[in-house]
């Protein structure tokens, strides 16, 4: 059940704390794992961030009256997938980033080889967590299998990894907006769509509701990325906590590059409205938090 007497920022803060407490316990202490590998996994898993994807899992479950306890394992799994992708993206062979959120990246602390293995281990552990912990919370095996099937598709070659590969190839220069959209849809929207639908599945969503959650996730994922492009161009360096105009300096092709600032802002509004529309039409018991999350994501100035 969604608690409507707390603000959306309080709601996010409360759920972030719950998610981080659960993440801290998510790799069994009893497992005999080389210490350096365990440390490298936990270093990035506990490196902070908005924990948006896990919050989407929990909020989707709550929007149908489901409890966030049984949705938590999948929330942890999606954060493990997101974390592994950041570790591998930061590698010298990929984006070659030394810092993330003000901290040295995984390979700067543990070395490239261990960073590759820590990413592989987190990716694999996401599936363990989704299955083992979900079943411990009495999620039916059929639902667990549906969730694993969708996670492996949306996080894999036709999903997130495909978006990353297209982004790499695109660095030689995109010529079409459709190419940029492919990258955003798969790099960002796919994992958000998974999060929302998995939370919904655990709370017993019907097909109409799952379709609404998919449309909601696709739209806000895209809106979120366009907003990122806009903020990089005109945002406040202090609030963002990172240098602006980096896309221009790297000559990265963005939405404002294709559409201009105003049309990009309009596109964000349009996608947010479509996302909220999808939820409104599908009769959720407690839609408030999902609607608030959509506004929160695009109204942010960081």
Enumerate binding residues for a second copy (CB under 8 A): 27-28, 31-34, 36-38, 41, 84-85, 88, 91, 93-94, 111-114, 116-117, 119-121, 123-125, 127-128, 131-132, 135, 140-142, 144-145, 148-149, 151-153, 155-158, 161-162, 164-166, 168-169, 182
| CB-nearer residue toward a second copy: 56 or 84 | 84
| CB-nearer residue toward a second copy: 91 or 244 | 91
Among 181, 177, 265, 191, which residue's Cα sits nearest to residue 222?
Answer: 181
Inter-residue contact 128 to 136 (CB < 8 Å): no
| CB-nearer residue toward a second copy: 174 or 298 | 174
Least gap, CB of 117 to a second copy (angstroms): 5
Least gap, CB of 293 to a second copy (angstroms): 27
Buried-state track 99-137, b at ≥16 Cβ within 10 A, e below 16: ebeeeebbbbebeeebbbbbbebbbebbbebbbebbeee
Helix (H, G, I), strand (E, B) or coil at 235: coil
| CB-nearer residue toward a second copy: 100 or 186 | 186
* E strand residue ranges, 3-155: 99-100, 103-104
What one-character DSSP code corresponds to residue 104? E
| CB-nearer residue toward a second copy: 18 or 100 | 100
Least gap, CB of 140 to a second copy (angstroms): 8
| CB-nearer residue toward a second copy: 183 or 275 | 183
Angle between the N-to-C axes of helices 68-89 and 52-63, in degrees from 0 to 180, rounded to the nearest 10 = 160
| CB-nearer residue toward a second copy: 45 or 279 | 45
| CB-nearer residue toward a second copy: 88 or 201 | 88
| CB-nearer residue toward a second copy: 93 or 280 | 93
Least gap, CB of 209 to a second copy (angstroms): 21
> What are the tokens at 138?
């009495």
Which residues are registered as beta bridge partners of 103? 100
> What are the tokens at 242?
């990172």
Least gap, CB of 15 to a second copy (angstroms): 25
Least gap, CB of 200 to a second copy (angstroms): 18
Least gap, CB of 196 to a second copy (angstroms): 19
Least gap, CB of 30 to a second copy (angstroms): 9
> What are the tokens at 294?
């959509």
Least gap, CB of 155 to a second copy (angstroms): 5
The CA-atom distances, in angstroms, between 295 and each of 216, 221, 223, 273 are 12, 12, 10, 9
The full DSSP string for 121-153 is HHHHHHHHIIIIIHHHTT--HHHHHHHHHHHHH
All residues at 6 or more sequence positions from 122 whose CB lies less than 8 Å from its CB, including other chains: 41, 44, 45, 80, 81, 83, 84, 87
């Amino acid at each position: 059940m969604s608690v409507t007497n707390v603000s959306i920022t309080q709601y996010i803060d409360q759920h972030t704390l719950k998610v981080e407490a659960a993440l801290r316990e998510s790799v069994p202490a009893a497992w005999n794992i080389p210490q350096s590998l365990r440390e490298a996994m936990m270093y990035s898993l506990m490196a902070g961030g908005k924990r948006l994807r896990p919050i989407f899992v929990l909020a989707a479950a709550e929007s149908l009256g489901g409890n966030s306890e049984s949705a938590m394992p999948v929330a942890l799994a999606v954060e493990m997938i997101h974390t592994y992708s950041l570790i591998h993206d930061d590698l010298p062979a990929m984006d070659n980033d030394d810092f993330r959120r003000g901290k040295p990246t995984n390979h700067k602390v543990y070395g490239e080889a261990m960073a590759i293995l820590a990413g592989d281990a987190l990716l694999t552990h996401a599936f363990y967590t989704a299955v083992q912990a979900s079943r411990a919370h009495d999620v039916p095996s059929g639902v667990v299998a549906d969730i694993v099937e969708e996670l492996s598709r949306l996080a894999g070659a036709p999903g997130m990894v495909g978006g990353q590969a297209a982004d790499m190839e695109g660095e030689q220069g995109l010529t079409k907006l459709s190419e940029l959209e492919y990258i955003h849809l798969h790099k960002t929207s796919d994992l958000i769509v998974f999060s929302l639908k998995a939370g919904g599945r655990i709370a017993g969503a019907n097909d109409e509701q799952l379709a609404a959650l998919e449309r909601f996730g696709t739209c806000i994922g895209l809106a979120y990325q366009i907003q990122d492009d806009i903020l990089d161009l005109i945002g406040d360096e202090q609030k963002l906590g990172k240098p602006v105009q980096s896309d221009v300096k790297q000559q990265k092709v963005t939405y404002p590059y294709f559409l201009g600032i105003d049309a990009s802002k309009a596109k964000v509004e349009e996608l947010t409205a479509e996302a909220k529309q999808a939820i409104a039409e599908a009769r959720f018991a407690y839609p408030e938090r999902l609607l608030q999350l959509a506004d929160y994501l695009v109204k942010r100035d960081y």
